[in-house]
Structure 1
Amino acid sequence: MLKLDDVTKEFRIGAFGGRSVTAVKNVSFEVVPGEVVSLIGESGSGKSTIGRMILGLNPATSGSITFDGRPARPGKEYYRHVQGIFQDPFSSFNPVFKADRVFAMIKEAYYPAVPEPEWARRVAACLSDVRLNPGQVLGKYPHQLSGGQLQRLLIARALLLDIKLLVADEITSMLDASTRIDVLNLLAELKARGLGVLYITHDLSLGNYLAERTVVLRRGSVVEMGLTEKVFGEPLHPYTRELLSAVPRLHESWDDAEPVDTCLYHERGAEGGLLEAEPGHLVACARLGACPPVRP
């Protein structure tokens, strides 16, 4: 469904744009229908930049992004199938309009011929799908609703379209624990209906809870990816191990990340890209390509 192939994003910086910084470098992965892929990494690793490129908010500098086998071209038809939800739900609503205006905008753009009674029925059905009572949320201003309610309103908005892919960028980071679980369980239900989800997060526990596959990003490059149970259960890259070692454990003291004296990548003589350490489990150079070449 969604495929990124060798995608790179550079931003021009400086007073006259004379310099550039590479935010994402040679990133490749796929999301298939009915699958959640978690994109994990620390702040500044390029996760949100990838999400914004998929949504057409930032163009890629090089590489390709395809959806259903065709180049991803942002526009009305593309957004009928691909939607995004961001970290701060309050920033997605205009505070001077009532929250249900997001549904009115969908109707104006995609379903102008649908009669109002039928549209109201569709909206109520989508709100029910995300466990919201229409009478409690419709007609209210954003500041009168909680962050969890606003996030679920945005998911309901996406469900009104023929959505196939949801880009969920840190959508639970501003929610309390109980609401966070509700939103994650909702994503799991949508996945069961065939929706593909790219779940962008820096919270490893949530990624482990939800995703079938995991992509670990560091400084804009993929350092490890594969089945979540493999990446979390048998991490091969020292950065992945470092992330896992930073997760708090009840009744255990925190240990330093396991030091790595040798690089599996260069031990096996790889010379570029990702090494397939085992079927479906790929890992990059431990030093992002800085290791010296292996001598015979």
Structure 2
Amino acid sequence: MEPLLEMRNVSKHYISGYIKTNIIPAVIDVSLTLNRREILALVGESGSGKTTLAKIILRLIKPSKGEVILGGKDIYSYPEKDYYLKVQGIFQDPYTSFNPIKPILSTLMDAVMLRFKINKIDRDKAVKIIESTLIRLGLNPMEILNKYPYELSGGQLQRILIARAYIIEPDLLLADEPTSMIDASTRLSVLNALFQLNEEKGTSIIFITHDLSQAFYVADKIAVMYKGRIVEYG
């Protein structure tokens, strides 16, 4: 079976200094594969290259060398809108992923329109989709939909971002330290929401963490990064 994602000898370096001669490697010759419906934990200390790798997969930065293949095609062969239907990301600080002046309902309405590739949708139909998704992930729509991001906790916002992915149904979700800024009592609810996305929608997940115990809890396989390289994988 063809893997969902392949990274082939991917490297990323940055150039600094007054005359641009200082080369700083961030990712060095990384190769890995991710199958459909699989959860891969990417583990490493701060500065090991994990987030840089995620940004490459999300097309936020381009690799200096190597290829990233999704569904048998180079990731840059996809039109932007099509790519972000297939690949979504959630990050360490959930507040940065929301427009602070848009209520949660509006944000999730955008997800419904993206999912169905339309510019307008019947409001009642969209609200039903949104409400059923939130309830499925253990959130109360009445307490959330008319609120703004600053009125909600980090744990609630992370689960709303997972709900957004649940609506869009991407092939791949990159979750970059999604539990590191929330209290211990809500971490399990976020992890369980990720499990639901994986099991019920078939979304593959790259779970990025510095916490090896979380990696063992969530993942089918683990890749350990150190100084920009994959040093253990399996």
TM-score in terms of structure 1 length: 0.73
What residue is the counterpart of 1:85 in the other structure? Answer: 90
Q: Deviations over 1:135-193 (max 9, x none)?
A: 11111111110111100111111122131111000000011112101111221222223
User: Counterparts in 2 of 1:141-220, with a 5 A limit?
Assistant: 141-193=148-200, 194-220=202-228
CA distance in 2, matches of 1:88, 1:186: 17
> Relative to structure 2, which stretch is displaced further, 73-82 or 104-113?
104-113
Give the deviation of 1:108 after TM superposition: 5.0
What residue is the counterpart of 1:97 in the other structure? Answer: 102
Q: Deviations over 1:39-83 (max 9, x none)?
A: 000000000000010000011111000111111126100110110
What residue is the counterpart of 1:270 in the other structure? Answer: none
User: Counterparts in 2 of 1:1-296, with a 5 A limit?
Assistant: 1-73=4-76, 75-107=80-112, 109=114, 110-193=117-200, 194-226=202-234
CA distance in 2, matches of 1:189, 1:97: 26
Partner SS for 1:3: strand
Identity, % of aligned positions: 40
CA distance in 1, matches of 2:81, 2:137: 24
Give 1 or 2: higher helix fraction. 2
Which of the two has higher C-alpha Rg? 1
CA distance in 1, matches of 2:218, 2:16: 37
Task: Indicate how the Cα distance of structure 1 residues 115 and 16 shifts in structure 2: closer, same or farther if over 3 A, else same.
Answer: farther
Q: How many residues align?
A: 226
CA distance in 1, matches of 2:42, 2:21: 31
CA distance in 2, matches of 1:223, 1:203: 16
Are the equivalent residues in 1 in contact too, given 2:57–2:68 (CA < 8 A)? yes
Higher relative contact order (CA 8 A, sep 6+): 2
Unaligned runs of 5+ in 2: none
Are the equivalent residues in 1 in contact too, given 2:41–2:223 (CA < 8 A)? yes
The amino acid of 1:92's aligned partner reads: S
Give the deviation of 1:98 after TM superposition: 2.1
CA distance in 2, matches of 1:172, 1:183: 7
Q: Deviations over 1:187-207 (max 9, x none)?
A: 122222321000000001100
Question: What is the RMSD of the two structures over their aligned residues, measured on CA atoms?
Answer: 1.5
Give the deviation of 1:119 after TM superposition: 1.0
Partner SS for 2:30: strand
Give the deviation of 1:16 after TM superposition: 4.6
CA distance in 2, matches of 1:199, 1:14: 33
Q: Deviations over 1:217-263 (max 9, x none)?
A: 0000011111xxxxxxxxxxxxxxxxxxxxxxxxxxxxxxxxxxxxx
CA distance in 1, matches of 2:118, 2:130: 12
TM-score in terms of structure 2 length: 0.91
Give the deviation of 1:107 after TM superposition: 4.4
Unaligned runs of 5+ in 1: 227-296
CA distance in 2, matches of 1:216, 1:87: 19
Task: Indicate how the Cα distance of structure 1 residues 108 and 189 shifts in structure 2: closer, same or farther if over 3 A, else same.
Answer: closer
Give the deviation of 1:97 after TM superposition: 2.6
